Every structure is written in structure tokens, then in C-alpha cells.
Amino acid sequence: MRLLLISDTHLPVRAKELQPQVWRLVDEADLVIHAGDWVDEATVDALAGRASRLVGVAGNNDGPAVWQRLGEVARVEVEGVRIAVIHETGAAAGRERRCDERFGPGSSDPADLLVFGHSHIPWDSTTPSGLRLLNPGSPTDRRRQPVGTVMTVEVADARIRSVTLVPTPR
């Protein structure tokens, strides 16, 4: 199964629209996961209308309408991989420990993969307990990165088979 991870689109504030390349990835994905900071409800509607399946959460820059629709945490199981989605995980220092406590094997509802956003900086690590942490960055607001980014993930047989960071230049 092909997943597209996206976050921090900030439309129409940081960009007027998603790049054609990102829309092609949406079309190719079996599941699109958005980790918050959509900024407007029209972006939620656009992705929901085009994606085969969409899972998302609200972020700190999202208004009440997006929060009401999506909430803080989303969970989905794909090909036996338990996925949790949240916008913020706090500072990079101590991230693995905090995420293990909230989403790892000892938590009340453990995940195998945690997708998050907020920093606009791609992240790929594994906690001591084996929880995979992925932040796709932002396709539209690169901050301190050379270009914007999203991630593609292949899952099968209860395993993450591949993770690819995809540059999204303007």
C-alpha cells in the first residue's frame, strides 16, 4: 500500500496552491496522511475530494472548523501497521522518549508509526521501543530546508517497507 505523508501546507498563506507534483503523488497514493496546519478548510476539502483515502489532524495554525472536523490525534491501521498522527511532538531533544511514552508499546493505544509535523523539518527516527517517527516536512514552507518536502511510504505484511523523502521545489 502506498502512503503519502504531508504536513504544514499553510494554504493559502505560505503558498497559493499545492504544486502539480504533490497532486500527482496524491493521485498515486492509496492513503494520504496530513499532519496538520492546513490553515483553511478549503485545503481539507480539496485533499478529501481528490485522495483515495484521507486521514488528518488539526495543527496549531488551524481554526475551529478544522479542529472540529479533525481533532488532535488520528489513528488508522494499514496492512497491519498501526499509525498514529499528531501535529506537534515538542522539541527535538527528548522526542523519542516522549513519543514512546504516549504512543509506544507501553501506552494505552500503541502505534507502530507516528506521523507528525509542526517543525517543517523532515524527521525519520526509531525510538528505543521500535516506534517509527516520521515528519514529512512541508511542501510549501521549507523554512531552513533547501526545498519543501513530502514523504512516500510503502507498507505491506505489517511492515514499513520503504520511506522516501520527496523534494517539492516550487
Q: In the chain, where are the structural domains located?
A: 2-167
pLDDT at 143: 86
pLDDT at 12: 87
* H, E, C per residue of the chain: CEEEEECCCCCCCCCCCCCHHHHHHHHHCCEEEECCCCCCHHHHHHHHHHCCCEEECCCCCCCHHHHHHHCCEEEEEECCEEEEEECCCCCCCCHHHHHHHHHCCCCCCCCCEEECCCCCCCEEEECCCCCEEEECCCCCCCCCCCCCEEEEEEEECCEEEEEEEEECCC
pTM to 2 decimals? 0.96
Tens-digit pLDDT profile for residues 105-148:
999 999 999 999 999 999 999 999 999 999 999 999 988 889 99
- The mean pLDDT of 84-96, rounded to a whole number, is 96
User: Is the CATH number 3.60.21.10 carried by domain 2-167?
Assistant: yes
